[in-house]
Amino acid sequence: MTNKKIAKTQTGMSELRAKKIFIGTVGYHILSNHSIGPILLPHLKKQNWPEGVLIDELNWGPIAVVQQFEAMKTPCDQVIFLTAIERPNRTIGEITVHQWLGGLPDRKQIQACVGDAATGVISVENLLVIGQYFKVWPAEVFLVDVEPGPEVAGEHLTEEVAIKVPQVVQTIRTLIKEGTNGIKEISYLRGDTLFL
């Protein structure tokens, strides 16, 4: 699979350009495993990535993130969020790849997400819903989600998560190179079932 994409130019001519892929880290700082995104951000930035890959933190209000995506001259073809959300039935350090399939909760729930965004809450679920509502996401949106265990304060990852870092990076690389083809198991998230 190639990382090149045929894009229409303004004059209607087709051109081959690198897929634009955004790797965004989402999460509060200083919460140990829950902060895997912010902690790994410098590490990710130092690595070599294919042409067209952007890496940045998205640890802020989803309204500003929406505006950031709207302001991009070239829209993204793929977005990968690196997150750590405590979920049942996972062991600490377990990596799950979620594909965002879109869909929206009811309006009351969307407004609740916007309300949270206005109060400064950082949450990938809020971000997914608000981005979906304002139509900023490309067709391919993934979460590489690492099980953090209970929320604790701290600036470092625990041993269980630290040893999974190479695998986390490899998972992101696989998604960039092969999409879901290279991922053994994938789960799906939808906005209309996210809060049930």
Partner 1 sequence: MCFKNLPIAFDEDGNAYLKEGVNDPYEYKVVDLGIEQDKLKDLMAKNGFIRSVDYDPVTRVAGALAFHSVVDLEKKKVLSTNSMATLFRGYEIILKGRDPRDAAYISSRACGVCGGVHATTSALAIEMALGIKPPPLGIVMRNILLAIEYLYDHPLHLFLLAGPDYSEELVAATNPELIDKAGNAKARGKAVHGYSTVLDIMKDLNPLKGKLYLEALSMTRVAREAYVAIGGKYPHPQSVIPGGISVTVTISTLNEVYSRLIKFFDYSQKVTAIWDDVFDFFLENNPDYNQCGVRPATMADTGVWDRPDSYDATFENCDKWGNDRWSTPGVLVDGEVVTTNLRELNAGMEEFVEHSYYEDWDGHRFKTDPLGMPLSPNHPWNKDTIPKPGKQSWRDRYSWDTCPTWDRLPMEAGAYSRMYLTAKAQRAPKSKFLQNTGHSMIIQVPKHTLPAATLEWKIPQHWNAFERNRARAYCIPYSAMVAMENWLLAQQLIREGETKVSTPYEIPKTGTHIGFGAWGAGRGFLTHHLIVEKGVINNYQIITPSTLNAAPRAPWGAPGPYEEAVLNTPILEKFDKPEDYQGIDILRAIRSFDPCMPCTTHIMAKDTDHVVTREVTTCACGIE
Residue with Cβ nearer partner 1 (59 or 174): 59
The number of angstroms, rounded, from the C-alpha of 166 to the middle of its chain's C-alpha atoms is 17
Rounded Cα distance, 90 and 110, in Å:
28
Q: Least separation, in Å, of the C-beta of 62 and partner 1?
A: 8
- Residues facing 55 on adjacent strands: 23
Q: Least separation, in Å, of the C-beta of 114 and partner 1?
A: 5
DSSP state of 181: G
Stretch that binds partner 1, among 88-96, 112-120, 160-168, 177-185 (CB under 8 A): 112-120
Residue with Cβ nearer partner 1 (50 or 115): 115
**Is 123 an interacting residue with respect to partner 1 (CB under 8 A)?**
yes
Q: Report the alpha-carbon angle 34-139-147, nearest 5.
A: 20
Stretch that binds partner 1, among 73-81, 89-97, 109-117, 161-169 (CB under 8 A): 109-117
Quick one: which of 4, 29, 90, 173 contacts partner 1 (CB under 8 A)? 29
Pick from 68, 63, 66, 69: which is nearest to 119 by CA? 63
Q: If DSSP codes are grouped into helix, strand and coil, which group holds residue 102? A: coil
Side chain identity at residue 167, one-letter code: Q
Quick one: which of 24, 38, 93, 148 contacts partner 1 (CB under 8 A)? 38
**Is 42 an interacting residue with respect to partner 1 (CB under 8 A)?**
no
Site mask for partner 1 (CB under 8 A), range 55-94, x = bound: --x-xxx-xx--xx-xx-----------------------
- For the chain, how far is it from start to end, CA to CA, in angstroms? 36
